[in-house]
Structure 1
């Protein structure tokens, strides 16, 4: 028994030694070489400097390092050698490059050593000697052997003698080429440069010139270099710059709006995804080829089967094939989204974003995949119409109206007409969708009456709902009321549709119809938090809403909601409030400070703040409204400036009236304001009747009695009074009495000349 036990121990020893092996893997990377050591158990280790590089010391003895595959994938540029010291069992790394080692643990049993280029970090503990712990000097690079000088070709390159044959002429010593001490790759670079210059000359980029003859040493022992014909900072390049070619490319790259490459045309060419028009046989063959011998789906055949289904308009079935037979995440996102679009649905994700500019079928699908039917820019209308014409007739009948409307929204009416005509040929002549598409096209071009006249009268289902959308939009743009039966039909469609994809369009049409019919309370309730729809309703309220509802909704509106409205809408409502005699409410709508200057000045003046009105109008001088400017001066009591403002604008009647109020009226101005034929006498055609003066509301003036007019008497009374301080008291009192009598007489004369108006 003892011998058997000893035998078993000897047999187990190799197995135990094999289990104590350390796997060493290596790899070269940019800037460092990596060693990965995997130990059988967690170990304590230490890395330090040795005489030839680094040493790795493991506290546990008996380990065997597997170094057989170290140099299979790395060079000896950094790790010159690696071996195990037979005396100490340390793993020694031979390093003679300007490198340093950084170890770290990747796990409890894995140690990684990176030999990196450059000097080690300051104070690195791995630069201490493994034996005594002293700091070792950094590694110095090994001397590089100096290559032999290249003497295969003397002097410069002779363009006229590319073979290198001697010309018999001696190169002057001061113009001799400098010998370069470099490696042998200089010759390869020189050959490459010659080839590139030759290619550039062939393509016309480089202009070649013959070499000038050498200077005559007898006449010019020290020739001067020729003057450069180009600026010193001129840049010479052999290869063309990026994006600039020598010859124009007949096939420019197909790019998206943001500059990315468009998908290949074959990946989305739905019209060519079936061999014939026999749908039954094509679909049967495609489905039969999905599974291989052991009922394993072939991804390529699954994709082909999905393509065949989509060619014949079966989008949901194609999507089910890809989901059922392809691994998760391997279905093409473009094809998955395409399966939604050919059924007339919106894809949950839009991988066609920014592809509307592609010159392939991607432009059509990107146009249809835009969320909410929003208008897009940079639409390649030619590619859209070309792809649409290549679709099967059944698919053109489904996608035609939406494609044409979106092309119209993008501003491409020509290609929209191409799509409309193709759609019209693909459906029955009496199909109401044809009339609906014609009405939508007229609406987009601005023919509102023609759009309403072209609407189908016997439409049902979604076609009837689309006709209501077009009708309400036409009435909204014309600000005409919508009939009650149409509003009831919209409410029925909204109830039936629920929260479907057309809910936003139904809400918009219903809110517009309610507002146009005068029910603004219901319209605002439908709009809810939709800011764009709320702005439409306020615009309709300001333009056509009754005054009672305007006051109900405009007065006391939340300031944030009021400020969010466009400037034109706020100005319109403020003007209507001014007309209604509510300047205080109008002032609330002008608090943003961005209303029209004249309107804001009117509001300020109506609220008793003429100074604010003048400040607002001063920004527009001299183009400010003169009537509003003069009214502001009148409100301040400055009649002279107000009269001057009227006089400048040509309103002499108002100016004369203000001059009377201010006491600055003069008879000369009165006479100058009378028309010439009023002073020419009876011989000039003047009647014997009195003439009304040019002053608004002024007295009558006799045509031949201009010497003793009552106005002259009044003008004399307005002359500057005599200084009373130098007049004796009795004389001053007598003068006041005389002036009082004259004033009473002048007033009586003026009253006598004013016409009497009979009271009703």
Structure 2
């Protein structure tokens, strides 16, 4: 029984790869400008096209045991295609041309290859006329190839001079053909090297035609390569077919074709069936990896939204697949570190525009986007991918300034379900917030928080930030919920962002001690915290006691904040009488309007500490009414009362101008003061007398002197009451 089971397993193992191998059918059709051959393969797979003079060889490395050619010439004549015959291998067919023809192969998907033969010649025919023949090799492995970039002289046919021979100048047509062929060859080599198909084994040697004459044709060395230069692989054709000049793009951009993003057709109808299919094809005979199966498996994963699994399959494929790698990060909902080939493709009319927008990093400034193409190709995605990518796409479009397109994306999502999910509500909140509908956005976020989904922590964080920005307080319950989310996700990628939200919430709730504790526990390179916001809340909302309690241990930190925030903190310290501490906060430099404000604050603090010279030095070179007021105070403090009086008078601060003039004993100016007491004192000091009335006589003069003495006494009393002197007891005081 055991032997029977072993035999069964052996037979099943041998039959598994054979089950996928079968005969391919070739049919034809005439389309006027070209003749088409349609090859129906048993299953999708890689293909290789080798161009030869007057013919082309199509090879299917895997899954084909032969070709049915019985119906090739039932619908076409032999004007372009002379014959189609089997090749040296069962997996090859040879298409013989009856004209100077060009050939093109495209993979139409579903195991159908199309080979078109055109009547006009192309550059490969020029190479053929020069005697360039490909060295056919059996079933090359194109996944990793080392091709030396040393290019020997091509073999020249009889009667045609070598390209380095001086006689080439006598034949302009051949010279131009050689030049064009050489340029095309170098372009193909450069493209292949950039894709990783070619890896230089040595540097290209420098050859001086003047010093090194051309070698005879018989001595020409063949190119040491496992891939003939006339071979076009399925990988090459797929990449070439993806590139096209999009004349309808916003900037005539060279765009990637839709074939590279046909994700809707990459998956089987059933995930498990497709998974089993591709995994069974991963390894062939002798456990040899089949790269095309790894690529198919990766695409199958991408179709169903499994980005990490797709990257695992791509790792098996030795040729880099940058587009598929980018798509794998996008479907996972992650960020793309480098857009690579999708850079600048958002202006295109094809499907690449959709993926280029999704690949943009957060915080990008507005840029040109073909938003209509983005919405159109988004609608063509499978429903499960629309549900996953739609909210992210809507937020990205809104951030780029395309509000209508963002709303259209969300409407398409809403049509497919009865109620918005958390992702869509978050996207809707973002659009509302950017449109100025802050209250509506907050309502959406509150709904997401209440649902307690995976989006709830992010929704709460955005809600707290928006509440603080609107100047509204945060309830202690909200702060506690933020702390719970931060603790729960402390080891996730969102840990720093949620901790910052907790710090904001604590400060908004007036719990500044806890707010600073959370803020200072964040790593220095967190990238999300804005300490100025916490210090601004401390300045605006904390009582004097709380303010001083929290700011005194953090004077060094306060000094390192933005100039605007540091100035505000120093101003409040000065107002509370802590001028020395204010100076510590203001010790750094600043520019612009904040720098001017800082110099004025320093001058005010210097005056408060009795340093008039320091105050004038701080405002040296500045101008303005606020500067003149400080300068007048400094001059007054320094004893230069006359100058201070003139500055005050220019500022129309009459009371201070009169006081400075009084101290300067400028009685002439003071005689016209609005203050009657000071004006009277000035008149007394200058000897001015009120005119006498009544008849002349001793009694009258004495009565006048008594009246003036009483008036002067009253004036002195008013002067003392208006300008009390420290240390002198007032009436009624003991």
Normalising by structure 1, we get a TM-score of 0.53
Equivalent in 246, 249, 263 of residue 270 of structure 1 = 263
Provide the alpha-carbon RMSD of the alignment: 4.4
Change in Cα spacing, 1:345 to 1:483, as seen in structure 2 (3 Å) is same
Q: Which residue of 1 aligns with 2:392?
A: 402
Q: Does residue 653 of the first structure (1) align with residue 642 of the second (2)?
A: no
Between the aligned partners of 1:609 and 1:366, the Cα distance in structure 2 is 63
When residues 606 and 304 of structure 1 are mapped into structure 2, their CA distance, relative to the original with a 3 A threshold, is: same
The structural deviation recorded for 1:662 is 1.3
Query: Distance in 1 between the 2:341 and 2:474 partners?
Result: 39
The residue aligned with 2:228 is none
Q: Is the 8 A contact 2:604 2:630 kept in 1?
A: yes
Name the counterpart of 2:83: none
Aligned to 1:345: 334
2:543 is the counterpart of 1:541: no
Which residue of 2 is the match for residue 520 of structure 1?
Answer: 512
Deviation at 1:568, TM superposition (A): 0.9
The offset of 1:488, in angstroms, is: 2.7
| Contact 1:352 1:369 (8 Å CA) reproduced | no
CA drift at 1:577:
0.8
1:663 aligns to what?
A: 665
Deviates more, 1:653-662 or 1:303-312: 303-312
CA distance change for structure 1 residues 262 and 753 in 2, over 3 Å: closer, same or farther? same
Q: Does 1:748 align with 2:727?
A: no
Partner of 1:504: 496
Within 5 Å, give how 1:12-23 maps onto structure 2. Answer: none
1:577 matched to 2:569: no
Q: Residues 488 and 417 from structure 1, CA distance in 2 versus in 1: closer, same or farther, beyond 3 angstroms?
A: same
Q: Which whole-Å CA distance do the structure 2 matches of 1:557 and 1:710 have between them? A: 53
2:686 aligned partner: 715
Distance 1:629 1:322, change over 3 A: same
Cα 1:386–1:625 change in 2 (3 A) is farther
What stretches of structure 2 of length at least 5 have no aligned partner?
A: 1-151, 157-161, 166-204, 214-245, 690-705, 723-730
2 CA distance for matches of 1:310 and 1:71? 46
Corresponding residue for residue 432 of structure 2: 442
Residues 273-327 of structure 1, C-alpha deviation per residue, up to 9 Å, x if partnerless?
Answer: 46x977677667666776779986543454344324322323344334434xx44
C-alpha distance 369-492 of structure 1, shift in aligned 2 (>3 A): farther
Deviation digits for residues 573-605 of structure 1 (CA, Å, limit 9, x no counterpart): 111111111111111111123231332321222
Which of residues 380, 386, 410 is equivalent to 1:390? 380
Structure 2 Cα separation of the partners of residues 520 and 465 of structure 1: 22
Which of 480, 491, 510 aligns to 2:483? It is 491
What is the rounded CA distance, in whole Å, between the counterparts of 2:352 and 2:209 in structure 1? 52
Q: For the residues of structure 2 that align with 1:700 and 1:558, how far apart are their CA atoms?
A: 46
Judged with a 3 Å threshold, the aligned counterparts in structure 2 of structure 1 residues 469 and 753 are, in CA distance, closer, same or farther, namely closer
The structure whose RCO (Cα within 8 Å, separation 6+) is larger is: 2
Residue 419 (1) aligns with residue 419 (2): no
User: Is 1:568 aligned to 2:564, yes or no?
Assistant: yes
Q: For each residue in 1:445-481, what CA deviation from the matched residue of structure 2 results, as whole angstroms up to 9, or x when unmatched? A: 3443332233344412213223212221122212433
Q: Which residue of 2 aligns with 1:380?
A: 369
Change (3 A) 1:294 1:469: same
Cα deviation code 1:602-653 (max 9, x no counterpart): 1222232222322333422245444323222212121111111121122223
Greater helix share, structure number: 2
Query: In structure 2, what is the Cα distance between the partners aligned to 1:565 and 1:342?
Result: 40
After the TM superposition, which of the residue ranges 296-305 and 409-418 deviates more from structure 2? 296-305
1:101-500 correspondence runs (5 A): 263-271=256-264, 273=266, 298-323=290-315, 326-327=316-317, 329-346=318-335, 351=340, 354-355=343-344, 357-359=346-348, 360-369=350-359, 373-378=362-367, 380=369, 382=371, 383-429=373-419, 431-457=421-447, 458-500=450-492
> What SS does structure 1 have at the residue aligned with 2:667?
coil
Question: How many residue pairs end up in the alignment?
Answer: 468
| Structure 2 residue aligned with 1:587 | 583
Q: Distance in 2 between matches of 1:312 and 1:116?
A: 54
Distance 1:290 1:366, change over 3 A: same
Deviation, structure 1 residue 437: 3.1
Inter-partner Cα distance in structure 1 for 2:720 and 2:552: 48
- Greater Cα shift, 461-470 or 402-411: 402-411
Equivalent residue runs for 1:655-694 within 5 Å? 655-666=657-668, 670=672, 694=674
Q: CA 1:509–1:286 in structure 2 vs 1: closer, same or farther (change >3 Å)? A: same
Answer whether contact 1:356 1:363 (CA < 8 A) is retained. Answer: yes
Contact residue 610 and residue 633 of structure 1 kept, 8 A? yes
Q: Is the 8 A contact 2:390 2:413 kept in 1?
A: yes
Once structures 1 and 2 are overlaid, which stretch shifts more, 496-505 or 302-311?
A: 302-311
SS at match of 1:620: coil
Deviations 1:667-688 (A, max 9, x none): 7852xx6xxxxxxxxxxxxxxx
C-alpha deviation, 1:411, in angstroms: 3.6
Shift in CA distance, 621/394, structure 1 to aligned 2, threshold 3 Å: same
Separation in 2, partners of 1:550, 1:293: 77
CA contact (8 A) 1:656 1:665 kept: no
| Equivalent in the alignment of 2:195 | none
Measure how far apart 1:420 and its partner are. 2.4
Evaluate the alpha carbon distance shift between residue 405 and residue 72 of structure 1 in structure 2; reply closer, same or farther with a 3 A threshold: closer
Q: Deviations over 1:550-584 (max 9, x none)?
A: 3344335474x445421111111111111111111
What does residue 555 of structure 1 align with?
552
Decide whether aligned partners of structure 1 residues 425 and 601 sit closer, same or farther in structure 2, where only a CA change above 3 A counts.
farther
